[in-house]
Amino acid sequence: MKRIGRGIGLSFYGTGYGNGFPDVSRAKVRLLKDGNVGIYVGGTEVGQGARTIFYQIGSETLKLSSDNISFITEDTSLMPDSGTAAASRQTYNTGNAIKIACENFMDRLREVAKRELKLNSTQGLKVNNGKIYLEFFPRKVISFKELAQKQKGNVIEAEGEFVAQTVEMDSETGQGAPYWPYTFNACGVELEVDVLTGKVEILKTRFAQDVGRAINPHLIEGQMDGGFAMALGYVLFEDLNINEGRIKNQKFSKYLIPTAMDMIDLENVIVEDPESTAPFGAKGVGEPVMIPIAPAILNAIYDAVGVRITELPATPEKLIEAIEDSKEGRVVKHG
Amino acid sequence: MIEIQLTVNGKDYTVNIEEDKRLLDVLREDLGFTGVKEGCSEGECGACTVIMDGKTVNSCMVMGFQANGSNIVTIEGLEKDGQLHPIQQAFIDIGAVQCGYCTPGMILSAKALLDKNPNPTKEEIREGISGNLCRCTGYSKIVKAVEKARGYEDES
């Protein structure tokens, strides 16, 4: 017999290292010899899409096509540190550092352009599409390429640093505001529990994630899909089975992770509410996307069969045992 | 050492290999096809998938000598004249690649499926790639990419 249940899970998650820990990202922007712009940044691409986001932020700030931007990353001898690709912090922290570095770089360009164009001031100088020009007299113009050729050994570059605001919690009371900013999310799940076999099948989900501003909706969907799948395995299958310090399920034939057949089509909802301290309002979503899924699934199991599972994974064996116990009126914690 | 002959991506090769060498290592080490990825080394994850005589195999589970006389396709064999294969292009267009480690195997499983069944249903696609594990994407965009590539043979 199969029973259907519905559950929801809500979470909020802090960006970056938090709790007063120094959280610093740096970037350097340089005019290259060919007139293109090099952005030097330590932020690491591991498939989450950091590099794409960096291109977008750099391109938008510099008002320059990404074709004219080179990203030089992941070589500590060439670039300043941008902290770890962890804590869902690259979009917000390193994104901010790139934006600041680009803005400083544009100030540098205006100063050099002032000299080259023999102007009295940098007032009214606009940087757009690889050119610096006087907004009210556009004939006063110099391109990045011309500027690069004229520099002869003088490098035009600027750095940017972003230090996140984070406050250590009170060690006595555990109170405080350890993170900023937070992202918020909500997940609803409808599932079916086979009360004879203990097998759980996800039927439908709706998953909403606050992202500040979705500067790349494709990548956000990818993170949401992946977070859901990872959480699904965490809740229902994945068990290291540690016995006296030894991992017994040390291979994929025993440690089961979801396959394409375990997943269903997800209904993802991207919620935009731009964050004032974020680059173009965007916050990172790497980790938060996994968090509300487990409570949503466990609440739906409770709704379906009336048992609370308090230790993961909620394997068929555990579910059947819990269902049997509840029939006999035993109140047992299942874990 | 034994000598084997095999065709990889349309080209014939003769190699001398140790008797206990896996096809995976022959392809990567002797022939340089590093698009074949080693994952779990026990036939569970599908990262080392190649197409052998029209069928997908985990190349970690095939001994080199067993591939003697066979015709093998790796990810390197899909691009033609600088043009990506429609499945590869669909993976890029849809954004089905994250860390990329499962991608070669995933695309080859998709190709083997579409070669056999040019217009699979969504469920058939999910089944067709179920031997390839992916930790990043949740499979959603991979399934969408294969759906997009469906029927590419009709168009070409």
Query: Do B69 and B121 share a domain, yes or no?
Result: no
The last residue of a domain, from among B12, B46, B77: B77
Beta bridge partners of A204: A190
Are B133 and A257 a contacting pair at CB < 8 A? yes
Q: What is the CATH number of the domain that holds A92?
A: 3.30.365.10
Query: Do A34 and A8 share a domain, yes or no?
Result: no
Closest CA to A278 of A146, A89, A112: A89
Q: What is the per-residue pLDDT for B156?
A: 47
DSSP assignment of A270-283: EEE---TTSGGG--
The total number of residues shown for chain B amounts to 156
Query: Do A229 and A125 share a domain, yes or no?
Result: no
Query: Do A197 and A108 share a domain, yes or no?
Result: no
Nearest CA distance, A49 vs chain B (angstrom): 7
Q: How many CB pairs under 8 A join A and B?
A: 76
Query: Do B73 and B93 share a domain, yes or no?
Result: no
Mean pLDDT, chain A cut into blocks of 10 residues (335 residues total): 97 95 97 97 93 97 98 92 94 98 98 97 98 97 96 92 95 94 98 97 98 97 98 97 96 96 97 98 97 98 97 96 86 55
Query: Do B48 and B91 share a domain, yes or no?
Result: no
Give the whole-angstrom CA distance, residue A189 versus residue A297: 6
Boundaries of domain holding B136: 86-155
Q: Give the CA angle between residues B92, B97, B102 to the nearest 5°.
A: 130
Q: What is the CATH number of the domain that holds B15?
A: 3.10.20.30
Query: Do A209 and A136 share a domain, yes or no?
Result: no
Q: What is the pLDDT of residues A222-247, one digit of tens each?
A: 999 999 999 999 999 999 999 999 99
Query: Do B96 and B113 share a domain, yes or no?
Result: yes
Say whether A287 is catalytic: yes
How many domains does chain A contain in total?
2
Instruction: Evaluate whether residue A168 is within a structural domain.
Output: no
Query: Do A158 and A33 share a domain, yes or no?
Result: yes
Are A251 and B40 a contacting pair at CB < 8 A? yes
Task: Look over chain A and give the mean of its residue pLDDT values, rounded to a whole number.
Answer: 95
Catalytic residue among A103, A287, A317, A321: A287
Are B98 and A265 a contacting pair at CB < 8 A? no
Query: Do B92 and B132 share a domain, yes or no?
Result: yes
Tens of pLDDT along chain B (156 residues) come to 999 999 999 999 999 999 999 999 999 999 999 999 999 999 999 999 999 999 999 999 999 999 999 999 999 999 999 999 999 999 999 999 999 999 999 999 999 999 999 999 999 999 999 999 999 999 999 999 999 999 886 554
